[in-house]
Structures are given as structure tokens and as C-alpha cells.
Amino acid sequence: PPDLSPAHTGVLQEMVKSECHFIIGTDRVRFMKRFIYNQEQYVHFDSDVGHFVGDALDGEKVARNWNSDPEWMEYRRTAVGRHCRHNYELSTPFLVEC
């Protein structure tokens, strides 16, 4: 059968992945947002760092552009509370204690 991987079909894939890492409930929360193009992460936001970081040459340009917008950065920095802590509170009744 033919190899149908994206590299061979001309299909380009972009994915954005958001992660919340909880340490001791919501006492310590880390938010990560990863931007991936064709299986390569090119830029990410890490709430512990507080800004976008380029992981590839093109990602460095994107990171500089996004980091230069104060409103966009404030929106990203508040994602810990808006996205992570909010969803944690909604999920708490369904979590199983180990």
C-alpha cells in the first residue's frame, strides 16, 4: 500500500495544544500552549516564563511578534486562572482520590 503520511500526501497539519499542570491542587498551576506545524513544535507559551518562546527559526519570528503585543500577552498570562483553575473547579466533583 502507498505511504499516506503527511509528508507524502501534500497535506499540511497545524495543531494547537493547551495543557494545565496542577501541583497540590490549584496552589501551583502551570499553563502551556504549544503550536505545532507538521509534527514540529515551532512556538510555545509557558506561564512560568511569562512569554512566547520560539522553538524553530520561524517560531522565533512568531514569538517576537506575539510578545510585542501587550494586550495579547496579558490575555495569555491570565489563561492560568481563566482556563486552568476554572476547569479544575468544574472537574473537582468528578475526580477520584487515589
pLDDT band for position 13 (50/70/90)? Answer: confident
CATH number at residue 87: 3.10.320.10
**Angstrom distance (rounded) from CA 52 to CA 67:** 6
Q: Is residue 71 part of a domain?
A: yes
Give the number of domains in the chain.
1
Give percent of the chain with pLDDT exceeding 70.
74
Q: Is residue 3 part of a domain?
A: no
Q: Is residue 1 part of a domain?
A: no
Is 84 within 8 Å of 32 (Cβ atoms)? no
Q: Is residue 8 part of a domain?
A: no
Report pTM: 0.75
Q: Is residue 19 part of a domain?
A: yes
Domain residues for 73? 14-97
Is 78 within 8 Å of 26 (Cβ atoms)? no
Give the H/E segment covering residue 34.
strand 28-37
Give percent of the chain with pLDDT exceeding 90.
49
**pLDDT tens per residue, range 16-61:** 999 988 887 667 888 999 999 988 999 999 999 999 999 999 999 9
